Amino acid sequence: MASAGPRKYIIRVPATSANIGPGFDVVGLSLSLWLTLTVTVPPTTTSPSTPSYEPPKLSYEGEGASDVPLNPYKNLLTRVALYVLRCHNIRLFPSHTTIHVSNQIPFGRGLGSSGAAVIAGVLLGNTLGGLNLPLPRLLDHALMVERHPDNVTAALVGGFIGSYLRELDEEASEAASVPLSEVLPEYPEDASENWGLDPPLAPVGIGHWVRFGWEKSIRAVAIVPRFELSTAKARGVLPNEYSRKDLVFNLQRLAVLTTALGQSPPDPELIYEAMKDRIHQPYRKALIPGLPEVTSSITPSTHPGLLGICLSGAGPTILALATHNFEAIAEDARKIFQEKGIEIDWKLLEVVGGSTVEEV
């Protein structure tokens, strides 16, 4: 907890679109909307046990600013950072730290806001504790909080990413399956060194990934309905079991898609079909009026330039991958949503690199 001098860091984490149709809980794409933290740690750090100890002061601007808790013991981002610190025997944040958050990622829309907050929290803990954790270890900590690897892996490493969770031995599985409330407890308001039990430690090497090729001409049109859908609710409607027919349908498409999106020029007929899904979208359509209509009526023949169209993450955002004709795609999706009484905003996004931490 000793501090050598004044330190200021910028932490940047991108939005992500998970699944890309058939790759439920497997693939993710990092996109050009950013969660940015400006972190200042004063030159002399008061010991946490002294009465003048001050927990971090959080401020927000941008998406979610009016909803997010500013209490660092309640905010997702800082609770994750504290989890990482406590896993390394650092019981509290450095005193008088300030964290300004500037956020472009809308909450609860299927663009990975919570995955980005978890990665930002892991990077914040790593930075404040001077832990120098290697990338795979950062991911282990993120996966203790966000248990599907698609968003967090793409947000951390950047690009078009496929990932899996290693099968853990019995002891490690037990460690990785502790309830989230124990990984991220509701911390008490007052600073004290005697809070509860030690946190559950992350098993080593939970998540593994590979980066696929990405053809540079492909851009992402995010069609964002003006309502929130929590990922938890959108996972709650999914069945526990699937037919072999539906699994094979998705596996065939995913195998083709991961290579097809790296090919130049991209093949719209191949990609449009390869972005179809039978594992999650059919079940989520009840929560997202207009979803089947948008994905079936906007096609490469009706909209030249379109490559494929799917639900982004758990929704309600629709992701259209295209090389041109972006506005027509988005405006026609707007008309379909309007018929269902839903307004949308749309953004043209690029595939970007992963998270960065810079000392300034």
Ligand X SMILES: N[C@@H](CCOP(=O)(O)O)C(=O)O
Eight-state DSSP code of residue 167:
P
What's the min distance (Å) between Cβ of 20 and ligand X?
A: 10
- d(Cα 140, Cα 102) in Å, to the nearest integer? 26
What's the min distance (Å) between Cβ of 256 and ligand ADP?
A: 26
What's the min distance (Å) between Cβ of 331 and ligand X?
A: 24
Residue of the chain from 26, 68, 85, 123 that contacts ligand ADP (CB under 6 A): 68
Nearer to ligand X, 266 or 316 (CB): 316
- Of 68-97, binders to ligand X (CB under 6 A) are none
Pattern 117-156, ligand ADP, x by CB under 6 A: x---------------------------------------
Coil, strand, or helix at residue 161? Answer: strand
What is the phi/psi pair of residue 194, to 5°?
-115, 45
Nearer to ligand X, 39 or 157 (CB): 157
Q: Which does 209 bind (CB under 5 to 8 A by kind): ligand X, ligand ADP, none?
A: none
167, 128 in Cβ contact below 8 A?
A: no
Amino acid identity, position 291 = L
The DSSP bridge pattern shows strands 98-103 and 57-62 to be: parallel
- Of 155-194, binders to ligand X (CB under 6 A) are none
Q: Which residue is nearest to ligand X (CB)?
A: 313
Q: Is 227 in the site for ligand ADP (CB under 6 A)?
A: no
What is the phi/psi pair of residue 296, to 5°?
-95, -25
Q: Is 347 in the site for ligand X (CB under 6 A)?
A: no
Q: Is 41 in the site for ligand ADP (CB under 6 A)?
A: no
Q: Which does 150 bind (CB under 5 to 8 A by kind): ligand X, ligand ADP, none?
A: ligand X
The Cβ-side half-sphere exposure at 238, using a 13 Å CA radius, reads 15
- d(Cα 57, Cα 47) in Å, to the nearest integer? 17
What's the min distance (Å) between Cβ of 83 and ligand ADP?
A: 14
167 CB burial (10 A radius; 0-12, 13-18, 19+): exposed
Question: Which residues fall within 8 angstroms of residue 41, CB to CB, at 6 or more apart?
Answer: 3, 6, 7, 8, 94, 96, 97, 128
Q: Is 24 in the site for ligand X (CB under 6 A)?
A: yes
Residue of the chain from 3, 45, 75, 127 that contacts ligand ADP (CB under 6 A): 75
Residue of the chain from 7, 12, 13, 18 that contacts ligand X (CB under 6 A): 18
Q: Is 278 in the site for ligand ADP (CB under 6 A)?
A: no
Q: Indicate left, alpha or beta for 84 from its phi (over 0: left) and psi (-120 to 50: alpha).
A: alpha
Distances (CA, A) of 137 to 54, 67, 123, 126, 205: 29, 31, 11, 10, 7
Part in contact with ligand ADP (CB under 6 A); list of ranges 75-83, 191-199, 300-308, 329-337: 75-83
Q: Is 110 in the site for ligand X (CB under 6 A)?
A: yes
What's the min distance (Å) between Cβ of 258 and ligand X?
A: 16
Binding stretches for ligand X (CB under 6 A): 18-19, 24-25, 110-112, 114-115, 148, 150-151, 231, 234-235, 280, 313-314
